[in-house]
Amino acid sequence: MKKLYKGIVEGNIIKLQEDVDIPKGTEALVSLYPFKKGEEKEIQKRELEFLEKGFDMGRLLYAKREELYDR
């Protein structure tokens, strides 16, 4: 599941400004990006583009499925 949540940091507590649709007790990885009001739409767009693009895992080893069997 990919979703960005907006919240406010108060000490070691992050108060989310919307309901979270995941079960209680679920472990999550949290990245903090401090921003000024008005910047959240640009940050959200950039983060979603990054998540959809994925990671470069190196070069393409096989152009076609049949090349796997030529080894």
Q: Supply the pLDDT for residue 62.
A: 65
Q: Does residue 35 contact residue 47 with C-beta atoms inside 8 Å?
A: no
The answer to whether position 65 is within a domain reads: no
Q: Which of 2-6, 25-29, 57-61 has the lowest mean pLDDT?
A: 57-61
The answer to whether position 70 is within a domain reads: no
Q: Which of 19-28, 44-53, 62-71 has the lowest mean pLDDT?
A: 62-71
pTM over 0.85: no
The answer to whether position 68 is within a domain reads: no
The b/e string for 45-71 (b: 16+ C-beta within 10 A; e otherwise) is eeeeeeeeeeeeeeeeeeeeeeeeeee
The answer to whether position 37 is within a domain reads: yes
Contact partners, residue 15, CB within 8 Å, separation at least 6: 7, 8
The answer to whether position 24 is within a domain reads: yes
- What is the domain range of residue 2? 1-54
